[in-house]
């Protein structure tokens, strides 16, 4: 069941027209301007911000979440949502840590992390596409289920001792300050951007998000597309679990706690309508950069984590409310 069949275009209302005007009024351009302003503010707030290695470290604040956000963006555009992504990361990390106790090496750990992610995505997809249950209800349930399984296995313990070559996936650098995670983030952004904006599958995703019933009458296999999207979201959660576990060097049941909120915020801030039917990967990329720079900048200023949580919650409410506020203001002027 989709969240709604009503699309919500994410453009700033104005009187401009034409291709150039559409670019000038786009949500992505506004985000880019905000990103530049945040970058300049961070350079003034801390003399350490422009250090190349500090900037490289800043990318770890968003790359893993952004990987999941790419798949989440497609899912939300199609009118669904997955709030269990953080729970999937926790369960996948726990499975890797458990396998590590039996001497499983890096290739096996990667396979297990991705496999658990796919299985969790398949479980969500079956409940939604085969049984017709609302995705928001299903994934709230599986969010608790997956993380609960991690707590049953680990309790208050932790798995440690990951091999060095596995740790490189989360801490290693490919060239100078370009980390493996940052390179993977760029590659995945290009892949998801191409799939969403330049393939028939991407067009089907937009069509389903705008009107699932019309999509069925036009011959699109709606349930099949949605199932693929849930599988992709699970797979990307598995990839994020591998990278995060490798970077931290340990597994705890609280790993990736509250990430679902940040990932959804990243997607919605990127211009993807929470109602489905519109959005872009470019917007999600810029939103990831914005959130990463804000988090890193506040960290340099020693701002408490709870303040960051308040900021993210307020940001999510704001980006959902602003488009409707713009429409109401425009109607008042007409």
d(C-alpha 146, C-alpha 143), whole Å: 6
C-alpha to C-alpha distance for 290 and 89, rounded to whole angstroms: 23
Q: Is the pLDDT of residue 10 over 80?
A: no
Contact yes or no for 82/110 (Cβ under 8 A): no
CA distance 175 to 183: 10
Residue 12 pLDDT greater than 50, yes or no: no
**Taking a C-beta distance cutoff of 8 angstroms, is the pair 300, 42 a contact?**
yes
3 state DSSP class of 46: coil
pLDDT at 332: 67
Helix, coil or strand: residue 26:
strand
Lookup: tokens for 325: 């506020």
Contacts of 103 (CB under 8 A, 6+ apart): none
Inform me whether the pLDDT recorded for 214 exceeds 80. Answer: yes
Contact 65, 240 (CB under 8 A): yes
Identify each DSSP E strand in the chain by its residue range. Answer: 159-160, 173-175, 178-179, 250-251
Q: Cβ of 53: how many Cβ atoms within 10 Å?
A: 11
Q: 314 pLDDT band (50/70/90 cuts)?
A: confident
pTM: 0.89
CB atoms within 10 A of CB 237: 36
Distance (Å, whole) CA 131 – CA 125: 9
Q: Structural domains in the chain?
A: 28-39+51-327 (1.10.3470)
**What pLDDT is attached to residue 22?**
53
Average pLDDT over residues 71-81: 97
Q: What is the C-alpha separation between 38 and 297, in angstroms, rounded?
A: 9
Q: Is the confidence at residue 329, as pLDDT, over 90?
A: no
Query: pLDDT of 16-63, one tens digit each?
Result: 334 444 544 578 888 899 899 989 988 888 788 888 998 888 899 899
Mean pLDDT, the chain, whole residue set: 88
Averaged pLDDT for residues 268-275: 91
Q: Does residue 13 carry a pLDDT above 90?
A: no
The Cα–Cα gap between 30 and 11 comes to 10
Read off the tokens for 162.
Answer: 């990951």
CB neighbours (10 Å) of residue 7?
Answer: 18
Residue 33 structure tokens: 């301007």
The residue-averaged pLDDT of 303-317 equals 79
Q: What is the pLDDT of residue 6?
A: 42
Find the mean pLDDT for residues 150-175. 93
What's the confidence (pLDDT) of residue 25?
Answer: 52
Tell me which of 4-13, 72-81, 174-183, 206-215 is least confident. 4-13
Alpha carbon distances (Å) from 158 to 44, 198, 245, 250? 40, 44, 11, 7
pLDDT reading at 318 higher than 90: no
Which is more confidently placed, 307 or 159? Answer: 159
Mean pLDDT, rounded, for 211-218: 94
Inter-CA distances, 26 with 9, 17, 164, 259, Å = 10, 12, 45, 27
Please report the pLDDT score of residue 311 as a whole number. 78
Does residue 257 have a pLDDT over 70?
A: yes
Tens-digit pLDDT profile for residues 105-153: 999 999 999 999 999 999 999 999 999 999 999 999 999 999 999 999 9
| The predicted structure's pLDDT at residue 331 | 75
> Coil, helix or strand for 11?
strand
| Whole-number Cα distances in Å, 279 to 41, 136, 148, 201, 282 | 28, 19, 33, 15, 9
Q: Between 24 and 264, where is the model more confident?
A: 264
């Amino acid at each position: 069941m989709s969240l709604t069949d009503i699309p919500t275009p994410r453009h700033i209302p104005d009187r401009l027209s034409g291709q150039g005007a559409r670019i000038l009024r786009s949500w992505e351009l506004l985000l880019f301007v905000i990103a530049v302003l945040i970058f300049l503010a961070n350079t003034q707030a801390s003399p350490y911000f422009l250090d190349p290695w500090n900037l490289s470290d800043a990318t770890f604040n968003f790359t893993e979440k952004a990987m999941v956000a790419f798949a989440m963006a497609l899912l939300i555009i199609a009118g669904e949502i997955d709030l269990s992504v953080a729970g999937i990361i926790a369960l996948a990390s726990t499975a890797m840590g458990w396998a590590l106790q039996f001497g499983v090496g890096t290739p096996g750990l990667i396979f297990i992390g991705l496999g658990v992610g796919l299985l969790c995505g398949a479980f969500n997809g079956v409940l939604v596409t085969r049984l017709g249950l609302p995705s928001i209800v299903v994934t709230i349930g599986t969010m608790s289920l997956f993380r609960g399984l991690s707590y049953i296995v680990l309790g208050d313990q932790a798995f440690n001792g990951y091999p060095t070559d596995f740790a490189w996936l989360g801490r290693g650098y490919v060239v100078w300050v370009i980390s493996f995670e940052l390179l993977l983030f760029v590659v995945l952004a290009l892949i998801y951007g191409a799939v969403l904006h330049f393939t028939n599958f991407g067009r089907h995703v937009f069509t389903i998000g705008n009107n699932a019933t019309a999509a069925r009458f036009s011959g699109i296999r709606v349930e099949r597309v949605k199932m693929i999207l849930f599988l992709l979201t699970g797979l990307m959660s598995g990839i994020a679990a591998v990278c995060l576990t490798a970077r931290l060097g340990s597994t705890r049941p609280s790993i990736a706690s509250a990430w679902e909120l940040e990932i959804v915020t990243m997607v919605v801030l990127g211009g993807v309508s929470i109602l489905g039917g519109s959005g872009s990967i470019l917007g999600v990329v810029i939103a990831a950069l914005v959130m990463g720079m804000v988090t890193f900048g506040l960290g340099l200023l020693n701002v408490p984590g709870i303040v960051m949580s308040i900021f993210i919650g307020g940001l999510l409410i704001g980006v959902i409310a602003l488009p409707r506020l713009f429409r109401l203001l425009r109607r008042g002027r007409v």
